[in-house]
Structures are given as C-alpha cells and as structure tokens.
Amino acid sequence: MQPYELTLGAAAEAVRTRRLSPVELVDSVLERIGRTEPRLHAYVTVTAERARRAARAAEDDIAAGRHHGPLHGVPMGLKDLIDVAGIATSASSRVRADHRAEASSTVAGRLEAAGAVLVGKTHTHEFAYGLTTPQTRNAWHTGRVAGGSSGGSAVAVAAGTATFALGTDTGGSIRVPAALNGVVGLKPTYGLVPRHGVTSLSWSLDHVGPITRTVEDAALVLAALAGHDPRDPASLTAPATGYRPPTGTDLTGLRVGVPRNYYFDHVDPEVETAVRAAVDEFEALGARLVEVEIPMTRYIQATQWGLMVPEATAYHERTLRTVPELYRGDVRVLLEAGELMPAGDYLRAQRSRTLMRREWAAVLREVDLIAAPTVPATAVEAGQETITWADGTTEAVSDAYVRLSSPANITGVPSLSLPVGHDTTGLPIGMQLLGRPLGERVLLRVGHAYEQTRPARKLAPAA
C-alpha cells in the first residue's frame, strides 16, 4: 500500500510511531496529484513547495518529541472559499482572480496549529452556488458530475490526492459530493465550526465541515475544528470537546428514525434499496427502528430558496453591479433573481424556518437520529440538466440533489453522509444520518459502527 492510500487514522498512527515520515506521506500525495489532476481537476491551486516545507518541519518536530496530535504531518485540501494567508481564494470565479488572503480563516489556523499540511485549494461550484462543480470530474467516472459545491474536496479525498479535506455546506454542499464520490461528509451543527475567513454563500445556512475516507477520520478532524470564535456571530459558546474517534459496534438502546414520507419519495430504487439495507444493519447491531413523519415537507424547498437567494445576492451586491460579466451564467441568473425577491418573502422564510426547527426538535425527542438517503440519485452525466422519475415527473438536477440535504441546513441539525454501496453501474450511494443539535457524537458512533460491518473502502477506480 502506498502512503496516499492510507486513511487519516492509519496515516496518523504511522506518523506518530515514526513508521512513516510526513515527508514521505506528502510526497506520495503530491505525486498522486500529478498523476490524477489532468483527468479529475480537483484543485484550483497546488501548493507543493509550501507543503514540502511544512512536511519537513513536521518531521523535525516529531523527531524532537513535539507531536501535535493526529493531524500532524497529514496532507489536506481546503475548499477555495477558505482563506489561507498569502494564498489566493478564488471561489473558482473570475470575480476573485486577483484576490489573495491577508490572514488565515479560523479553521485554516486551527488545522495549521494541529500540524496539518496544506497541499492545495480545491475547486468549488462558483461561489458555492451550485450542486455540480462542473470543472471537476467524478472520481468514479470522469463522465459524471462531481457534485457540489465542494466537488473538488470530495474528489480529492476519493482519489487519494488529499488525506482529508474541508468543504462548506449551505444546502448539501459537503454531503452531496461526498455521497456521489463514495466518501464521508459531515455537516456539523450550525455554529459549531466557526466560519470567520470563509467566503459566504448564505450566512444563516452556511456550515464548514470535513470530508474524509472514514467516519473515524471525520471525528479526528472535527475535534480540531470545533470551538467558539467571537469573530463569527453565529459561533456557539457551548463546550466543543469530546469528539474522540468512536469505537465498537453495539447500538443497543438507540432509536433510529426511518422516514415514512419525503426522504424516500422520488428516489432511485437502487438508492432506496441500499439505504434500507444499511438501516436494517443498524437493527442487527441492536438499534430499534422507529417510523417517523417528517414535518412541514411542503415548505422545505421554498424555505431553503427563500433564505439562500436574498442572502447570496446581498453578499454579491457590489460586484454584481460592477463586474456582472465575470460571473458564470447560471450563478449570475440566481444572483440577479435575488434582487427581485420581496422582503416579505424572506421574512416568511425566516418564520417558516423557526416553525420547522420546532417541529424537527419534537421528532428528534422521539428518536436519537434519523437515517435517510443523502441524495435521491447517483451521479448524473456531466451536462445533464434534469432527472425523470418513474412516474413521469421531471426534476432539475440541482433541485434533486438539494432536496434531501437542505432540511439539515434550514434547521441547523448535524448530518453525516457515508457510503452504503453502489448502483449497477458502479457509482457510489450515500446515506445520511441526522441528529439533534450538538449530537455529532451519536452520528459518528452509528456511522462508525456501520463501517465496521463493511469491507475497507478502496480509492475510486477512475482516479
């Protein structure tokens, strides 16, 4: 096995025990990037020399007994919305062509303090305003979409060109590409991970979180990210400790909610079969399955768009007026549409969100978590605009991909996506676990227990 093939947990242990040096690990990942990037286009910028310097410094620290923890010397990719001092933050847009960050974001600073090594900035759908990341190719099939908007981060992890990566999630942008590329994506509780220094799409829906090979890896990264930052007005002051890697497979006593509505409506049969089989595995591990009714489903789409569109347009107000021609057509249309949305619609979306949070809290008092598909279909072909369901109805690809993930953004509850199989064409299928606010430990425990019943996952073959 080559170093780039190691999970974060395995790499961390090998580095800690000095069976593998950070220099060897980083060199292996950089070599992997050189081989795969011409096909996958996961990276906007590869910071090879910076990474090699950091790897040598990590090697010296560890040799001197200054080991900083499980991320020390481990290669990472950061979505190109996340500021790192001295490096461009392009948001994959011509609007940001000349932007260079003067200071690092909170999350980049925390990861640097933990010893992680930046190998590059990963592609996003322009300004995170989309669900496909069109410039990046799916790691399992280069003719399919990567998912978005954190497509570059998910592809990098799936291909072994980053041991872990960070993404952002406003309506599913961590979990959607994680599901489509067969990796793990965690959208934490709203406010648990600070967003200072991260380019915003929609301030009241935005989250930052890890994309990793395994659930254990997600726990290791979350432990470094979580914690209050007064520079983010939404940052939680609750203690952010105890995100240790989960152990064991016994789920006795846990109540797993299985939706009887919404989450299995207009879902590909192969996706439904794989997710229900994974839910049955929870029961085999001791959990009790409980049918639940998802509340206020008719308002989900309107609430998501009613919040996101005007907030995004407000953020881009100046550049939309001065350099509109620099935006991609699909993003420009959405931003311009936001200027036409009445303030009353935004206020109604806010009220709807308040009611939805209350109703979800009631459901989550009856169960410990909810299990459901992450996305209703696997990765569509690049350029495909719609999905036609068995009953003849047609849905835009972006609407389909956001439909099952956006409730967690509206309500702010944590959601973990993990792979649960493949369709007949070999494309990955993802399941998401949704929990109570600050219930990440439960989601990580359940996701890890499921992973222990499966064979170890390999890197994506298209890479």
- Judging by DSSP bridges, how do beta strands 386-388 and 288-292 pair with one another? unpaired
Tokens representing residue 310 in the block: 């005007």
pLDDT value, residue 244: 75
pLDDT value, residue 243: 74
Instruction: Establish whether 149 is a catalytic residue.
Output: yes
Cis peptide before 149 (omega within 30 of 0): yes
Instruction: Establish whether 173 is a catalytic residue.
Output: yes
Query: Could you count the other beta carbons within 10 Å of the beta carbon of residue 137?
Result: 25
Nearest CA to 297 out of 254, 356, 252, 226 is that of 356
> What confidence tens digit (pLDDT) does each residue in 209-252 have?
999 999 999 999 999 999 999 999 999 997 766 677 788 999 99
Spatial separation of the C-alpha atoms in residues 268 and 273, rounded to whole Å: 9
Query: Could you count the other beta carbons within 10 Å of the beta carbon of residue 76?
Result: 29
For residues 47 and 161, is the Cβ–Cβ distance under 8 A? Answer: no
Instruction: Establish whether 121 is a catalytic residue.
Output: no
**Which domains are seen in the chain, by residue range?**
3-452 (3.90.1300.10)
pLDDT value, residue 462: 64
Contacting residues for 108 by C-beta, under 8 A, at least 6 apart: 78, 82, 83, 84, 118, 197
* Catalytic entry in 90, 105, 149, 398: 149
> What confidence tens digit (pLDDT) does each residue in 51-102 have?
999 999 999 999 999 999 999 999 999 999 999 999 999 999 999 988 999 9
* Catalytic entry in 79, 93, 200, 235: 79
Tokens representing residue 265 in the block: 């409506």
Write out residues in the chain with pLDDT < 70, as ranges: 240-242, 462-463
For residues 271 and 378, is the Cβ–Cβ distance under 8 A? Answer: yes
* Catalytic entry in 28, 173, 200, 415: 173
pTM higher than 0.95:
yes
Element (H, E) at 421: strand 415-422
pLDDT value, residue 463: 53
